[in-house]
Structure 1
């Protein structure tokens, strides 16, 4: 009887060594391929699903950018797909990015690691927020959409009425994901920042800070990392980084590097949970790390400078945006983790810069329609 052929000793030695097998699995280029590898056997699944392994894998193979949503005043946000390698085509085809069939007039969409935070209704300064907010997983159409409970309209501090509410995903939930709500109100030259956490489908107060700053206006989408919320605000005409420590309810303001202006600035996160400040000045993109030293004041460390003009020249893109229109017409819309990519708009044209590969291309152009 002919027996089953045994693997060569060298191959067997590798496959039976968890450390070597883990290094091999790290070479898989796409998460879809890693899932297929994990289905080989329970041992491979155990290695591929270990938190330490997934952290290394994510650092080596950051998530692919599938596309982006265009917000207009006349229609629901529309998804614009980007070309994908064959390994991801099947996943994208099975996904559902269209918002028209979700049964509500969604006017705003925020993207977070494959999750969509949807808001219906338009925001009016000074008015009580009455928006409907939902969560959508485009890559898992069967889950459809989850409607979040209504956010309170007044603070636990007497006299403060909210004029701004923002939903923030929190990856530290018991089920792997929960939600915070940052609500801001004001009265008598004071402002309150209340943070709620979603527990058993109810919003419970989690942290609260009252400050002498009047009518705080957040300039960007907030970031949350290590139990702190970060954003940019303007105080007496000066841009500052605002940090709210959720554990201590302590609000801190930090000056930005010199010559940083709002329209060409974004915040981003690194894989190691550090905050990045990205700023475009002329044709130079500068990246700072926000450094918090327990023995001294917080500071900014310039870690990289990238010449966008050089990238454009190498990819046959006009450099007129850096020569004729000036900094005020360059708008940074979004930045990836670390950061891996940058969306830059000028004169109604949207460009995508791949900062790791030093590549760029035009991905959208605004028309009269």
Structure 2
């Protein structure tokens, strides 16, 4: 009998390591900013696990799509952060404050993959900034821009590895696509900087174009191409293909609507990586998609039409001069609209809207998405009763997918 018991003990599977089990549970927490910091308050073991760099990498890889933390607004030529989340996920503006006096007079060009791109006119240099880590990289503009014959118009930053869950340019190489114009012949050009080489590529030009009246909208990434909305004696779209490194101005052949001439336009993502177009008027909100036929011709197809009072809960009598599209969230296909002094976010697929904040300074909003972990609080500052309460909350929140038998083994 004794030998049988010994053999059973030798062949029985080993119990899972307690750290491994809790690690699997913590990976299932939501990707909101408060999740890991609050979980770290449960006990020293949880704090050690969620502070580990390997765990943080696995956490990002599991969730893949980082949450929308807020928007950066260009106020008085300085980027100002405004959170769009509710407590306890709301992030104070000073957490993402750019504390560089020499960037007070600068232009915010865009945000993508957890990075912010800023251009300073006086020194003619770019700043790539990771607000979460505080890391900054200064990039001088291409040498051909120093003489003043060419001017910077817009730009975009992107990091492919960051989109897959990595950690900004701390873990991947980024690229900056700079858009400018030649004063001599009116052509638009693009130049690409790679952090891997630390150099700019050769300038890529379009054909001659007429006067550009507007180029303030940030780039929209659709598939493998960046798109900007611009006006060249009418409505046109500038496309830069990241795979082929080609630049082209597309004749918009703008869709015909019954809206007035003072509409607001914004490029959006369509289905199957097609380019879409949003048109906002006091009469309503339309979303179009550009379809290419078998013969190569392109036409605009109307996807959806909605009324502002239906999606925002406003009065049907909206004044036409007090509405605008001030931002677009690529990852979730959502728009940021302003009506009077109120900023709203409207999600196209769910048809849900949310009021974000009120602000008298009406400027463009650059959505900022990233994984964010706040400063961890020492355990000895948290009362024992609060620790026990948070322990129960986070076990219940993360336990989905973990068996009851494994749950019994949890012990901090």
- Distance of 2:101 and 2:271 partners within structure 1: 33
Q: Which runs of 5+ in 2 are unaligned?
A: 14-23, 40-45, 162-168, 363-412
Aligned partner of 2:31 in structure 1 is: 30
Q: Which of 354, 364, 368 is 2:346 aligned to?
A: 354
Aligned partner of 2:129 in structure 1 is: 136
Aligned partner of 2:107 in structure 1 is: 108
Q: Which of 233, 249, 267 is 2:246 aligned to?
A: 249
Aligned partner of 2:95 in structure 1 is: 96
Aligned partner of 2:179 in structure 1 is: 183
Query: Which SS does the other structure have where 1:214 is aligned?
Result: coil
- Distance of 1:71 and 1:357 partners within structure 2: 28
Distance 1:93 1:160, change over 3 A: closer
2:253 matches 1:265: no
Q: CA deviation at 1:366?
A: 0.9
Distance 1:189 1:135, change over 3 A: closer
Residues 1-369 of structure 1: pairs in structure 2 closer than 5 A: 29-30=30-31, 58=65, 63-73=66-76, 76-84=78-86, 86=88, 88=89, 92=91, 96-101=95-100, 104-109=103-108, 110-121=110-121, 130-141=123-134, 143=135, 145-154=136-145, 161-172=149-160, 176-187=172-183, 189-200=185-196, 202-206=198-202, 208-216=204-212, 217-236=214-233, 238-245=234-241, 247=244, 249=246, 251-255=248-252, 256-259=254-257, 264-269=264-269, 273-293=273-293, 295-313=295-313, 318-319=314-315, 323=317, 325-326=319-320, 328-337=321-330, 339-347=332-340, 349-355=341-347, 356=350, 358-361=352-355, 363-366=357-360
Distance 1:48 1:196, change over 3 A: closer
Contact 2:270 2:289 in 1 (8 A): no
- Distance of 2:79 and 2:245 partners within structure 1: 37
- Distance of 1:113 and 1:172 partners within structure 2: 8
Contact 1:269 1:339 in 2 (8 A): no
Query: Which SS does the other structure have where 1:30 is aligned?
Result: coil
- Distance of 2:339 and 2:207 partners within structure 1: 37
Q: Which runs of 5+ in 1 are unaligned?
A: 8-21, 123-129
- Distance of 1:187 and 1:244 partners within structure 2: 20
Cα RMSD between the aligned structures? 4.6
Give TM-score scaled by structure 2 length.
Answer: 0.61
Contact 1:278 1:287 in 2 (8 A): yes
Distance 1:323 1:64, change over 3 A: same
**1:310-350, Cα deviation, whole Å (9 max, x unpaired):** 2333xxxx42xx52522x44211002126543222244x03
Distance 1:281 1:235, change over 3 A: same
Q: Which has the higher helix share?
A: 2
Q: CA deviation at 1:251?
A: 1.6
Contact 1:160 1:185 in 2 (8 A): no
Give TM-score scaled by structure 1 length.
Answer: 0.67
State the number of aligned residues: 320
- Distance of 2:95 and 2:238 partners within structure 1: 36
Contact 1:99 1:106 in 2 (8 A): no
Contact 2:263 2:281 in 1 (8 A): no
Distance 1:283 1:353, change over 3 A: farther
Contact 1:190 1:210 in 2 (8 A): no
Question: Mean alpha-carbon deviation: is it higher for 266-275 or for 299-308?
Answer: 266-275
Contact 1:186 1:192 in 2 (8 A): yes
**1:11-66, Cα deviation, whole Å (9 max, x unpaired):** xxxxxxxxxxx9x99986436669989x79xxx97x96797x65xx63xxxx4332
- Distance of 1:280 and 1:352 partners within structure 2: 14
Distance 1:292 1:262, change over 3 A: farther
Structure with higher RCO (Cα < 8 A, 6+ apart): 2
Query: Which SS does the other structure have where 2:172 is aligned?
Result: coil
- Distance of 1:332 and 1:161 partners within structure 2: 33
